[in-house]
Amino acid sequence: MAGSSIMENLFQRTLEDLIKGLRLQLIGESTFISNATEEIRREVKSTDQHTKSIALQKLSYLSAVHAVDMSWACFHVVEVMSSSKFAHKRIGYHAASQSFNDNTPVLLLITNQLRKDLSSTNHFEVSLALDLLSRIATLDLARDLTPEVFKLLSTARVFIRKKAIAVVLRVFDKYPDAVRVCFKRLVENLESSDPQVVTAVIGVFCELAAKDPGSYLPLAPEFYRILVDSKNNWVLIKVLKVFAKLAPLEPRLGKRIVEPVCDHMGRSGAKSLVFECVRTVLTSLSDYESAVKLAVEKVRELLVDQDPNLRYLGLQALSVATPEHLWAVIENKEAVVKSLSDDDSNIKIESLRLLMAMVSESHVADISRVLLNYALKSDPEFSNQILGSILTTCCRNVYEIVVDFDWYVSLLGEMAMIPNCQKGEEIETQLVDIGMRVKDARMQLVRVGRDLLIDPALLGNVHLHRILCAAAWIAGEYVEVAANPFELMDALLQPRTSLLPPSIRAVYINSAFKILIFCLDCYILQNEGSASWYSDNLAGGQSDLLSVKNDTEAAELATCEGSNDEQHEDFNPRNATESSEDLSVKNDIDRVATHGQASTPPTVLGKKNSMHESIVSLLNRIELIFGPLIANQDVEVLERAQNLLSLVQLIKEEIIDNLVQSVVDIANKKVTRVTAIINLLRDAFTTELGPVSTSAQGRIVVPDGLVLKENLDDLQAMCGDIELPSSSSFGTGVPHLTTTSDTSSSNLLKNEESGPLKESTSLIEHRKRHELYYLPSEKSEIVSDEYPPAKKDKKRANQTKPRLALVRLDDGDVAPISVKRPEPRDDSLSGAIKDVLLRSETGPCMSGSSRSKNHGHSHTKERRHRGKEKIVEGEEHDQREKKKSGHCRGRRKTHQRAKSPVNVVSHTPVIPDFLL
């Protein structure tokens, strides 16, 4: 056995051998690692402690550096941890700290080992145990080892005490009841004269205060003393962080600390401390003007420093100041703008955020100009960040800061032309959105859209396709404000539009359709005007007034015929007809204007011919460009192209026929079918589109008596059933109705009677089927009553429209953000700390012995108040006290007895005012 052990020891590869071997591998590293892992699996099972330890060390290395799994070795880790040799023990502890976690199955096995090592006389062994505990402590470990940690919190060995203090954070987190044992001693360490101890304990309080600052407010005097007296920058930084959390909770506290904070900010040569003071002032002492001004001065120094770290932190500090002290950002505007040119992307992004924070309606144009110039010369990534920031800021709260929409629309157009621009979707959305909301901006929108559409080079840029889509939509939708519709049509019919994806091509076709209808409508109006003129001429010198009258009569005739057609075809309900009449009245006004323009006698014929040629040319061009698309694979493109081409064919036939007719015949010719179709389409396109609220669907009221089922299985049954079962189903629903049974029976009978009469029509049958299922016939009457209110709403909207430059929906455009309530915090730690603090403040103690007694005494009293179950525990404490007092002298006994009334009085849970 001894020989075998020596053999393993002498020939085992060490960690250094492993590392050397790895470094020699050029392409076989993974194989080498696999082989090494297998070797380790064998070695780690050795009964020789040294062999096992070295194997474990190698495994730890491979796990940390080469992602090798080592969870399978947890039992061997426990064995090595228990070695009596420090070198081996250290290897075991390191492996445990690296691989153990809450789910490690052998954690229970190490409790006693940790307890033993925590009590070791070798303080490096204690150190190993504390380090491991700080990394892997579970509830069980924390509970079982709290007594050991408690002892170490007051050990004379500073090397150990500072580590025990740091471990407390993890212990409190896992086992909040440990507060009752250790918190008081933790607080005592705040008064230590050793800087290492104070560094550790203030670090713990910084972490604790970050989670639950209110609990540590009673300790403010201790923190204040450290703030004033300490010379250690690390300690001061931590205590400043603590106060940054406490000050907002207690106004008087801020008042007390503002002076020492300003002292440190003004005098300290350490940049880290100065920056922490600045941050504390700007976050938690922002009400103190002089402190803020000093902080802003320090920020300015940071902004111009050569060190990019300091410049970046200076910008960060301004970001913190922005909500309450925007003036500080504006005051440093030059430095912020200059930072846009920095080499450091961190600095550029931060300065961009600050600039957007400065934006207001008075200088959004100036800042956007500056930013656009930077976007032109920046790298693609930052350029797009600039554009994104401008877009986000300007459209915030429905374009709140935009006053001049013509300017903003032009800006969007310029953004689109910036090289590397990848914000096409957002620009598209905003262009369309503004068109729907801001009527006065439509002319500028069409201009910008035109400039984008007519440039054939843009069609090859995929990043611009979405913007071109918006431009096309705008050109079609608002063609009536366009200077030259034919130019727009030429743009939409460019051969290079074949480079566009189908979805955008479809929009181009649809817009071409709209513009064509507009052009044809103008053409028809011009013809009618010409006819009127010829009539006047034939009559031998009629006045203009008579011409206007004739035009009006013609309009009325057209309106009557339109109504007749609509009634005949029976497509539209009465409301639609009324709406159409309103629109016709508006169009009459347009026609009069058109007539005025075309009334010059000498040029009428020439202009007519020119218009005619333009229309014919346009129709031919449409056929040329869109003809091939009727074979397109995309159904959207195919169908729109087919629709448009069919209309073009109809119109061409009509127009060609007109060429062979005499002027007189035209004057007497009745309105043709094609003209009627064009009028219909024009009316359809004239309906104005507005923004849709995100909650619009929710505003539709569910009809009375309609029960919306979550489970739609009935639909399947209904679809499969014949008519009679549906009727039965309806009959079953009768008892649920709130109306009288007599009325219900009557309706049911009525439906049954009407059934046979309408059975022949599938459409009628479909309606009946759905009515039977969704709505009783009596309910449809109620539904019809709701039409007038909708109509009134529409009229009201129309009336108010001219007064508003921007359309905003009453209930807001943005979907309401559901505010999530913060999850209830685990209050066990907070409660424990408050409990301990209240008791610890029950009065100063004259001696250690007295303190101990008082502690027990108040403890006992409080437990009695908590309830019957605590009596047993209270009695235990009484016995313990009795035993202790047996050792005291007579005089001390008297003294303690005299103290009792004070304890009773101070038991009242009043938080003393430490700051006054």
Residues found near another protein in the complex (CB under 8 A): 2, 6, 15-16, 19, 23, 50, 57, 61, 63-65, 67-70, 85-88, 90-91, 94, 101-102, 122, 124, 127, 130-131, 134-136, 159, 162-163, 166-167, 169-170, 196, 199-200, 203-204, 206-207, 210, 233-234, 237, 241, 271-272, 275-276, 308-309, 311-313, 343-347
Residue 132: CB minimum distance to another protein, A = 10
CB 116 within 8 A of CB 145: no
Q: How far is the C-alpha of 429 from the C-alpha of 415, rounded, in Å?
A: 14
Report how far apart, in Å, the C-alpha atoms of 177 and of each of 139, 216, 907 are.
Answer: 10, 17, 21
Q: Among residues 102 and 366, whose Cβ is nearest to another protein?
A: 102
C-beta separation of 376 from 411 below 8 A: no
Please, which residue, 312 or 685, has the CB nearer to another protein?
312
Q: Which is nearer to another protein, 187 or 619 (CB)?
A: 187
Task: Give the nearer residue to another protein in terms of CB position, either 119 or 784.
Answer: 119
Q: Are 152 and 161 in contact (CB under 8 A)?
A: yes
Give least dist CB 842 to another protein, A.
Answer: 31
Q: Contact at 8 Å (CB) between 118 and 129?
A: yes
Shortest Cβ distance from residue 867 to another protein (Å)? Answer: 37
* Closer to another protein by Cβ: residue 159 or 327: 159
Q: Which is nearer to another protein, 68 or 548 (CB)?
A: 68
Identity of the residue numbered 853: K
Task: Give residues with Cβ within 8 angstroms of 815, minimum separation 6.
Answer: 694, 695
Per-residue burial over 151-169, b = 16 or more CB atoms within 10 Å of its CB, e = otherwise: ebbeeeeeebbbbbbbbbb
Smallest separation (angstroms) from another protein to the CB of 7: 12
Nearer CB in complex with another protein: 345/552: 345
> Minimum Å distance from CB 352 to another protein?
15
When the beta carbons of 65 and 304 are compared against another protein, the nearer one is 65
**Of the two residues 160 and 475, which places its CB atom closer to another protein in the complex?**
160
User: Is 203 or 476 the residue whose CB approaches another protein more closely?
Assistant: 203
What is the nearest approach in angstroms of another protein to the Cβ of residue 240? 9
Orientation angle between helical segments 49-66 and 86-99, nearest 10 degrees: 30
Report helix, strand or coil for 648: helix
- Closest contact distance (angstroms) between CB of 484 and another protein is 50
> Considering the complex, what minimum distance in angstroms separates the CB of residue 720 from another protein?
52
Q: Least distance from C-beta 423 to another protein, angstroms?
A: 22
Q: Which residues contact 904 (CB under 8 A, 6 or more apart)?
A: 861
In the bound complex, what is the minimum distance in angstroms from residue 823's beta carbon to another protein?
A: 15
Rg of the chain (C-alpha set) = 43
Give whole-number Cα distances, 349 to 327, 341, 342, 411, in Å. 20, 10, 10, 21
* Cβ-based nearer residue to another protein, 138 or 444: 138
**Which residue, chain included where needed, has tokens 């994806």?**
501
Q: Any idea what DSSP says for residue 467? A: H
Residue number, 64 or 605, with CB nearest to another protein: 64
| Nearer CB in complex with another protein: 346/643 | 346
Task: Please give the Cα distance from 478 to 839 (Å, whole number).
Answer: 77
Tokens 């300015």 -> residue: 300
Quick check: 134 and 166 in contact, CB under 8 A?
yes
Cβ contact 319:353 at 8 Å:
yes
Q: Which tokens is 88 given?
A: 């081996």
CB of 343 to another protein, least distance (A): 6
Written as one string, the DSSP assignment of 158-218 is HHHHHHHHHHHHHHHHH-TTHHHHHHHHHHHGGG-S-HHHHHHHHHHHHHHHHH-GGGGGG
Cβ at position 126, least distance to another protein in Å: 12
Closest CB 92 distance from another protein, rounded Å? 12
User: In the complex with another protein, which residue's Cβ is closer, 162 or 834?
Assistant: 162
CB of 614 to another protein, least distance (A): 57
User: Distance between CA 628 and CA 650 in Å, rounded?
Assistant: 18
Helix axes 195-211, 158-174, angle to 10 degrees: 10
Give CA–CA dist 827/306, Å, rounded: 47
The nearer residue to another protein, 128 or 391, going by C-beta atoms, is: 128
169 vs 137, 162, 183, 708, 742, CA distance in Å? 10, 12, 10, 55, 77
Distance, CA of 471 to CA of 474 (rounded, Å): 5
Q: Are the C-beta atoms of 51 and 12 separated by less than 8 Å?
A: yes
Residue 84 or residue 633: which is nearer to another protein going by CB? 84
Comparison of 286 and 526: residue with beta carbon closer to another protein: 286
Question: 170 with 138: CB under 8 angstroms?
Answer: no
Contacts for 260 with CB less than 8 Å, ≥ 6 apart: 224, 227, 228
State the nearest-atom distance from the C-beta of 358 to another protein, in Å.
22
What is the per-residue burial (b if ≥16 Cβ within 10 Å, else e) of 267-305?
eeeebebbbbbbbbbbbbbbebeebbebbbebbbebbee
Residue 276 Cβ vs another protein, minimum distance, rounded to whole Å: 5
533 close to 601: Cβ distance less than 8 angstroms: yes
Q: Which residues contact 881 (CB under 8 A, 6 or more apart)?
A: 853, 856, 857, 860
Residues composing the chain: 916
Shortest distance, position 199 Cβ to another protein, whole Å? 7
